[in-house]
């Protein structure tokens, strides 16, 4: 045994420098990714998709057919008040409901069929009764993300109120001297004629976490896959005899079984694939069976969960195999640090800075969340995110295989084996 006191290692500058650099960079990156992505979503918001529907049938006024709904929707569409933050999608009611039901709209503004007729009643000359106030309907869509739906609601409500105010100035100018003959209630309403009502455009079941269960379920799949990869990687190394396995005060060590890096990756990936059947089942049992999460298409949800865990786990195992000890930091950044802010579930992609939108194109959590959201909220429609989810899972698996086996195969060919020097077989003399 060495006579050097263990605490003397604290005097070693490389120990402080190496750990300081690694933990410092990790802290900085997490702060940038998490705080930077969400620090000002309103200012970063650009082209948030919101439906704009004119269902107004118009009415006869002053001897001609008038459609105030068309006038309002056109003025909103051309308005620059939102500064490009809202992308108004002009459509009919059927298309709007379909788009809300696929999560492609964060909300909508609907001008109802009787809008013009209700508005013209305000300028009637009756002296009794209370006129019927026209309405503009703001639809929300929490299934697309609660923050995105809230941002859309705020912008849409403001647009509706501005439209009502502009319409009020127009009606006031048109009535002119006739205002004295109008009922008192009508004169008050003329300045701001339209009432703004808010409704849920795509209602969810009560156990849907206000549209966040898809995100947290997907996050669970990613975290479970990542942690399973770490466990499997360590246990395979122990089974092959490359590392010790500490169980409390006991240290276990198995005889060395020589395996190339490629063989080790193949063993770990096979184990990950097999265990993902168990792990994916237990995640679903915990979320749906025990906690009561609202879910439909259960066989599809199970299959997607198993595949998501398997692909995530194999990807993490690959990074651990290629980068070694620093691989866990890389895995944490890829699957958690850069993934959570770019998932498009808490903050919509349209409210993220450009760099984060770029990351969202390939970050695993965003793709998995889209598929889970489609299964849970949108009747498993392919163009609601499920098709993209499957495609990106397949692409991720192929990328992990090419990268992992390619790099590790190169390591093996270069003789960069993992066999410790003291375990190499000794050379023996050949008899003459």
Per-residue pLDDT of the chain (432 residues; tens, 9 = 90+): 556 788 888 888 888 898 898 888 888 988 888 888 888 888 888 899 999 999 988 887 666 778 888 888 988 888 877 778 899 999 999 999 999 999 999 999 999 998 888 887 776 544 445 567 788 999 999 999 888 899 999 999 999 988 888 888 887 777 665 665 666 666 666 777 888 999 999 999 889 988 999 999 999 999 999 999 999 998 998 888 888 888 788 888 888 888 899 999 999 999 999 999 999 999 999 999 999 999 999 999 999 999 999 999 999 999 999 998 888 889 999 999 899 989 988 889 998 888 889 999 999 999 999 999 999 999 999 999 999 999 999 999 999 999 999 999 999 998 888 765 444 444 444 444
Beta carbons within 8 Å of 365's beta carbon, 6+ residues apart: 218, 219, 222, 335, 339, 340, 342, 343
Q: What pLDDT sits at residue 2?
A: 59
Beta carbons within 8 Å of 51's beta carbon, 6+ residues apart: 88, 89, 91, 96, 99, 100, 105, 107, 108, 109, 110, 139
Q: How far apart, in Å, are the Cα atoms of 396 and each of 171, 233, 372?
A: 59, 19, 17
**Dihedral angle, C-alpha 172, 178, 179, 180, nearest 10 °:** 160
Q: How far apart, in Å, are the Cα atoms of 95 and each of 51, 89, 106, 107, 142?
A: 9, 10, 14, 13, 18
Sheet strand arrangement including 86-91: 86-91, 48-54, 107-111, 135-140, 195-200
Burial class (CB in 10 A: 0-12, 13-18, 19+), 171: buried
* DSSP strand pairing (245-247 vs 195-200): unpaired
Distance of alpha carbon 85 from alpha carbon 89, whole angstroms: 13
Q: What pLDDT sits at residue 425?
A: 46
Q: What pLDDT sits at residue 289?
A: 94
Q: What pLDDT sits at residue 127?
A: 43
Distance of alpha carbon 110 from alpha carbon 200, whole angstroms: 12
Q: What pLDDT sits at residue 62?
A: 66
pTM of the model: 0.87
Q: What pLDDT sits at residue 429?
A: 45
Q: What angle do CA 423, 424, 427 make, to 5 degrees?
A: 135
Q: What pLDDT sits at residue 126?
A: 44
CB 341 within 8 A of CB 356: yes
CB 166 within 8 A of CB 75: yes
What sign for the dihedral angle of Cα 46, 150, 219, 285? negative
Q: What pLDDT sits at residue 180?
A: 59
CB 114 within 8 A of CB 57: yes
Q: What pLDDT sits at residue 58?
A: 81
H helix intervals, 285-326: 298-323
Q: What pLDDT sits at residue 129?
A: 54
The HSE-up count of residue 398 (CA atoms within 13 Å, CB side) is 6
Beta carbons within 8 Å of 377's beta carbon, 6+ residues apart: 103, 143, 202, 204, 208, 211, 214, 384
Secondary structure letter of residue 254 according to DSSP: P
Q: What pLDDT sits at residue 178?
A: 62
Distance of alpha carbon 172 from alpha carbon 63, whole angstroms: 19
What are 247's strand-pairing partners? 250
Secondary structure letter of residue 384 according to DSSP: G
Secondary structure letter of residue 431 according to DSSP: P
Q: What pLDDT sits at residue 125?
A: 46
Q: What pLDDT sits at residue 321?
A: 94
Q: What pLDDT sits at residue 286?
A: 96
Query: Which 3 state secondary structure label does DSSP give 52?
Result: strand
CB 337 within 8 A of CB 30: yes
Beta carbons within 8 Å of 371's beta carbon, 6+ residues apart: 218, 304, 308, 385, 386, 388, 389, 390, 393
Burial class (CB in 10 A: 0-12, 13-18, 19+), 420: exposed
Q: How far apart, in Å, are the Cα atoms of 111 and each of 48, 72, 84, 241?
A: 20, 8, 22, 71
């Amino acid at each position: 045994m060495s006579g050097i006191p263990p605490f003397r290692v604290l005097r070693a500058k490389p120990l402080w420098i190496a750990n300081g650099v690694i933990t410092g960079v990790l802290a900085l990156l997490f702060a940038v990714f998490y705080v930077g992505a969400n620090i000002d979503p309103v200012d970063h918001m650009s082209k948030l998709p919101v439906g704009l529907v004119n269902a107004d049938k118009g009415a006869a006024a002053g001897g001609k057919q008038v459609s105030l709904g068309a006038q309002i929707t056109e003025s909103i569409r051309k308005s620059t008040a939102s500064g490009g933050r809202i992308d108004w999608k002009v459509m009919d009611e059927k298309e709007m409901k379909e788009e809300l039901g696929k999560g492609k709209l964060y909300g909508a503004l609907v001008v109802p069929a009787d809008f013009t007729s209700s508005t013209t009643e305000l300028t009637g000359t009756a002296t009794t009764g209370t006129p019927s106030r026209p309405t503009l309907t703001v639809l929300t869509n929490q299934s697309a993300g609660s923050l995105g739906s809230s941002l859309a609601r705020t912008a849409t409500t403001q647009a509706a109120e501005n439209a009502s105010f502009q319409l009020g100035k127009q009606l006031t100018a048109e009535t002119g001297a006739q205002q004295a003959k109008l009922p008192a209630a009508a004169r008050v309403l003329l300045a701001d004629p339209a009432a703004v009502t808010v409704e849920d455009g795509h209602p969810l079941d009560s156990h849907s976490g206000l549209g966040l269960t898809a995100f947290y379920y997907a996050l669970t799949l990613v975290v479970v896959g990542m942690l399973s990869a770490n466990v499997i990687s360590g246990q395979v190394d122990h089974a092959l005899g490359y590392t010790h396995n500490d169980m409390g005060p006991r240290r276990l060590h198995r005889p060395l079984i020589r395996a190339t890096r490629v063989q080790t990756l193949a063993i770990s990936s096979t184990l990950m694939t097999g265990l993902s059947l168990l792990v994916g089942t237990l995640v679903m049992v915990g979320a749906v069976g025990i906690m009561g999460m609202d879910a439909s298409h259960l066989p599809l949800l199970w299959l997607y969960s198993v595949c998501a865990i398997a692909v995530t786990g194999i990807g993490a195992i690959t990074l651990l195999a290629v980068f070694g000890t620093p691989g866990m930091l890389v895995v944490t950044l890829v699957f958690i640090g850069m993934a959570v802010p770019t998932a498009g579930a808490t903050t919509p992609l349209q409210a993220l800075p450009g760099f984060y939108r770029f990351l969202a194109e390939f970050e695993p959590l965003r793709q998995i969340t889209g598929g889970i959201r489609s299964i849970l909220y949108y009747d498993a429609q392919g163009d609601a995110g499920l098709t993209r989810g499957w495609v990106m899972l397949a692409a991720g698996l192929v990328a992990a295989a090419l990268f992992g086996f390619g790099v590790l195969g190169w390591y093996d060919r270069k003789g960069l084996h993992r066999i410790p020097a003291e375990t190499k077989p000794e050379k023996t003399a050949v008899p003459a």
